[in-house]
Structure 1
Amino acid sequence: MSRVLAIAPRRLRGGALATGLALLALGLAGAAGAQAPGFSDPGQGVLIRNATVHTAGPQGTLRNTDVLVQGGTIRAVGAGLSAPAGVATVEAGGRPLTPALFGGITDIGLEEVSGEEPTVDGELSLEDQPVRPEFDVTLAYNPASVLVPVARVEGLGFTLLAAGSGKSFVAGQGGVVRLDGSADPIGPRALFIRLGAGAANLSGKSRAAQWMLLDQMVAEARGRVPADSPHALLTPAGRAVLARFLGGQGRIVVKVDRAADIRQLLRWAARENVRVAIAGGAEAWQLAPQIAQARVPVFVDALADLPGNFDQIGATLRNAALLQQAGVEVSFTQAGDASHNARKVRQLAGNAVANGLPWEAGLAGLTSVPAQALGVGDRIGTIAVGRSADLVLWTGDPLDVINTAEQVWLGGRAMPMRSRQTELRDRYLRGVGENGLPPAYTHGP
């Protein structure tokens, strides 16, 4: 370790102490070093030969197929391709090759230790004027976060940064980031709103008030309420931002579970002509035909199968399958600590497949579906000529967690397959010393 960060233990609360010391006292600088060195030059190119190529696009699955990458872009897909001069060759031996996967809706790069407030930037909590759609969490994104390589070595190449509900059910904006060390998000922003019982305390203790407040905000953004009204909810900047989303520039991602609330959301979206997506949607299957007709994508938690609250009484493991059968575009996200456990999104897709979702739809839910839904499908999410070479070579079926990512390429660069977790693992599993412990436990001269 080149340096150690001094942390005052009294500032770390509860269970965050152990996590904080593990991540911070061992040196966040090590994470940055795990990202930059060792990246291959995208100009060199690579030919991945004899793979089972799951394109997640119109071509479907191509067996015994080669993929040629040059300049960070997929240049050719086919059988028997020749490697141009200076292009390295990787023999896949029939193993699966997929687009880099979607990590779900997370705070990767917005938090390091969830219990240590200075390392958490995903929520806004203002007392005087809490409704601030202009709040944009992507401005706080840290591409050198410890969590970036932790997610990337698991085959994840992009995620949707979310604004979390602080003191407003209108949380703010987020966006798609690629986990390749890039500092800036790609594609249009998303606006995050939370509806239902979980946000009732943020809207006068009634979910009915959420629609009243939304209608007022829409009226303000569309100029039907004077800007100097003493009862205005939005700042001038907030009006401008909301007006963009009302004009179709980006998705409004709504965290909602109860079927009755989803019904109201579909009516509101149709009335205001806005593009929405559902996150969570535990009871979305009950309105599958209506959701499909409205062309609303759903980011489901495929492990939600119990009535964890009164908004999830109808939760079922068949949610994803029932939605997909009705024609809904289904992707995945997870409840709880999604940032530190983003790798589990593969488990969500695998469980959805085990409960009736077609395998191809499961893979699409981790690749092409979220890319298209979030406005970046013209660049990432599929394996096709002209797309960014964001690829993963797997040891086996990527939806079976027994398998792992063998190599990840983002923008044609071979990513270092190491993270802070793998470095700690290797450190403490090195050879045993005279005292019967690994050398890292040895103290004294």
Structure 2
Amino acid sequence: MTGKGTLAAILMLAASQAFAQDLLIRNATVHTATSRGTLNNADVLVRGGKIAAVGNGLAAAGVQSIDAQGRPLTPALFGGISEIGIDEVSGEDATTDSSLALGQNAKDMVVRPEFDATLAYNPDSVLLPVARVEGIGFTLLGAGSTAGGSIVGGQGAVMRLDGSPDPIGPRVLFVQLGSDGANLTGSTRAAQWMLLDQFIDEVRGRIPAGSHMAMLTPAGRTALARYIDGGGRVVVGIHRAADIRQLLRWSKRHGVRIAIAGGAEAWKLAPELAAANVPVFVDALANLPSDFDQIDATLENAARLRKAGVAVSFSLGDSHQARKLRQLAGNAVANGLPWEDGLAGLTRVPADALGVGDRIGSIAPGKTADLVLWDGDPLEVSTLAQQVWLGGRAMPMRSRQTELRDRYLRADPPSETRGLPRAYPAPVR
């Protein structure tokens, strides 16, 4: 049996032992996403679903052993800010739970920061295995804003794609600013800062609850209070450099820990973002002035930000195409971002930014064993994930998409269906 065939057989055995949480992966090119960097011909020992040791020549009696044959092993990847698990079919409203649509214009804006999108999360969504077979192990569940009638979209959190029903980290608040939110603020982005200041005034009691000026419910004031004066993370969708400058001033004034989603022109304020310790989730394919907020978009955005010391991650904003996040990272690397930073932007950086870096996002003792074995460079679009382990358990490497592929591309249909169009053969059991 060839080396490739041997590895395939071992991985089939791993998949058949899906509930095992102890294993030893030997002879891998381990991209740790830590200060240890890349380790050649290294081993990773997993016990009880957690990484017990990383090094060379490890041994463990009675533990399933897999020879990686030098192939790359990485932490499970980040799926970006997505709606995986709350958006089954985007065109079918009954399967979309990311936005709270109580008001649709500035006059009747309903601001509900207490809205928590994680309460609608479906761990049985068909989108989970679609993303998972591509090496994705966690995502930041987003809460829609402008579609929901407010620049404050609500809260989301990090979800692991292992079938667990609950978030693993703290809640994150989502806000949409710039031209995308201007229709909800009197058709001017200037009013966004007026409204945000008013929300802070309400939380701090400078606007009495129940007054004609108040816009928050009691629960909304409680929820928003958790995000000021050094509290939880606020992810702000924003692109234009001028708006980002105002955001930095506003966040400093109120002690708000922000992260930027989008940031097409963020490179123009890279030193300021680095000094303020603001991570940026970029779309590394943004290169053209698609609107007036992105006049200075460039493929070098990620590289310029990282060179200045900004923590850079990636997000595509498309739950059904989350697997393409590797392509974003690869394009950023092709345009000047160091390779190790490209991988970190899919692993350690988002985990740290979202408050779960102590559990996932890197390969180190004590971390949850969320791992992916690849058949090549994980930042190359042609590379495939050979096996995904979440919590040390081998995940089935199939999804609805792969099952449809296998059904309709069968070269040897059953005898009872021969002569019929290729759509008719039954799936392989």
Alignment TM-score > 0.5, same fold: yes
Does the alignment pair 1:115 with 2:91?
A: yes
Does the alignment pair 1:438 with 2:422?
A: yes
Give distance in 2, aligned partners of 1:206 and 1:344.
Answer: 34
Residue in 1 that maps onto 2:67: 91
| Distance change >3 Å, CA 38–CA 91, structure 1 → 2 | closer
Does the alignment pair 1:352 with 2:352?
A: no
Corresponding letter in the other structure for 1:40: A
**1:146-198 Cα shifts (integer Å, max 9, x gaps):** 10000000000000010012110111001000000000011111100000011
Report the Cα offset of residue 84 of structure 1: 2.1
Corresponding letter in the other structure for 1:345: L
Report the Cα offset of residue 435 of structure 1: 1.4
Q: Match for 1:318 among 296, 300, 313?
A: 300
| TM-score, structure 1 as length reference | 0.88
Q: Match for 1:151 among 131, 142, 161?
A: 131
Residue in 2 that maps onto 1:174: 156
Give distance in 1, aligned partners of 2:127 and 2:423.
Answer: 27
Report the Cα offset of residue 397 of structure 1: 0.3
Corresponding letter in the other structure for 2:386: E
Residue 250 of structure 1 contacts residue 374 of structure 1 at CA under 8 Å; is this kept in 2? Answer: no
Residue in 1 that maps onto 2:18: 40
Residue 331 of structure 1 contacts residue 369 of structure 1 at CA under 8 Å; is this kept in 2? Answer: yes
Give distance in 1, aligned partners of 2:271 and 2:115.
Answer: 34
Residue in 2 that maps onto 1:274: 256
Report the Cα offset of residue 439 of structure 1: 6.7
Q: How does 1:42-191 map to 2 (within 5 A)?
A: 42-43=20-21, 45-85=22-62, 87-127=63-103, 130-165=110-145, 166-191=148-173
Give distance in 1, aligned partners of 2:422 and 2:178.
Answer: 52
Give distance in 2, aligned partners of 1:294 and 1:246.
Answer: 15
Residue in 1 that maps onto 2:11: none
Report the Cα offset of residue 77 of structure 1: 0.7
> How many percent identity over aligned positions?
68
Find the residue that maps to 1:186 and give its secondary structure: coil
| Distance change >3 Å, CA 340–CA 39, structure 1 → 2 | farther
Does the alignment pair 1:374 with 2:351?
A: no
Residue in 1 that maps onto 2:406: 426
Give distance in 2, aligned partners of 1:373 and 1:435.
Answer: 56
Give distance in 2, aligned partners of 1:42 and 1:221.
Answer: 48
Give distance in 2, aligned partners of 1:249 and 1:60.
Answer: 31
Residue 101 of structure 1 contacts residue 381 of structure 1 at CA under 8 Å; is this kept in 2? Answer: yes
**1:243-265 Cα shifts (integer Å, max 9, x gaps):** 01114332100000000000000
Give distance in 2, aligned partners of 1:77 and 1:333.
Answer: 29
Corresponding letter in the other structure for 2:80: G
Residue 269 of structure 1 contacts residue 276 of structure 1 at CA under 8 Å; is this kept in 2? Answer: yes
Give distance in 1, aligned partners of 2:154 and 2:143.
Answer: 5
Q: Match for 2:319 among 331, 339, 343?
A: 339
Give distance in 2, aligned partners of 1:59 and 1:378.
Answer: 16
Residue 28 of structure 2 contacts residue 71 of structure 2 at CA under 8 Å; is this kept in 1? Answer: yes
Corresponding letter in the other structure for 1:235: T
Report the Cα offset of residue 236 of structure 1: 0.6
Give distance in 1, aligned partners of 2:351 and 2:29.
Answer: 22
Find the residue that maps to 2:221 and give its secondary structure: helix
Give distance in 2, aligned partners of 1:157 and 1:202.
Answer: 35
Report the Cα offset of residue 375 of structure 1: 0.2
Report the Cα offset of residue 204 of structure 1: 1.1
Corresponding letter in the other structure for 2:395: M
Does the alignment pair 1:203 with 2:185?
A: yes
Find the residue that maps to 1:376 and give its secondary structure: coil
Give distance in 2, aligned partners of 1:436 and 1:145.
Answer: 32
Corresponding letter in the other structure for 1:311: D
Residue 240 of structure 2 contacts residue 263 of structure 2 at CA under 8 Å; is this kept in 1? Answer: yes
Aligned length: 402
- Aligned Cα root-mean-square deviation (Å): 1.3
Find the residue that maps to 2:30 and give its secondary structure: strand
Find the residue that maps to 1:292 and give its secondary structure: helix
Q: Match for 1:289 among 271, 287, 298?
A: 271
Residue 113 of structure 2 contacts residue 173 of structure 2 at CA under 8 Å; is this kept in 1? Answer: yes
Find the residue that maps to 1:307 and give its secondary structure: coil
Give distance in 2, aligned partners of 1:149 and 1:46.
Answer: 22
Residue 188 of structure 1 contacts residue 249 of structure 1 at CA under 8 Å; is this kept in 2? Answer: no
Report the Cα offset of residue 39 of structure 1: 6.4
Report the Cα offset of residue 440 of structure 1: 2.2
Q: Match for 2:283 among 301, 319, 322?
A: 301
Structure 2 unpaired stretches of 5+? 1-14
Residue 194 of structure 1 contacts residue 255 of structure 1 at CA under 8 Å; is this kept in 2? Answer: yes
Report the Cα offset of residue 41 of structure 1: 2.0
Structure 1 segments of 4 or more deviating over 6 A?
none
Residue in 2 that maps onto 1:260: 242
Structure 1 unpaired stretches of 5+? 1-36
Q: How does 1:402-413 map to 2 (within 5 A)?
A: 402-413=382-393
Moved more, 239-248 or 363-372: 239-248
Give distance in 1, aligned partners of 2:423 and 2:276.
Answer: 60
Residue in 2 that maps onto 1:242: 224
Residue 38 of structure 1 contacts residue 415 of structure 1 at CA under 8 Å; is this kept in 2? Answer: no
Give distance in 2, aligned partners of 1:69 and 1:199.
Answer: 46
Give distance in 2, aligned partners of 1:94 and 1:248.
Answer: 44
Find the residue that maps to 1:188 and give its secondary structure: coil
Report the Cα offset of residue 224 of structure 1: 1.5
Report the Cα offset of residue 436 of structure 1: 6.2
**1:340-362 Cα shifts (integer Å, max 9, x gaps):** 00000000000000000000000
Find the residue that maps to 1:163 and give its secondary structure: coil
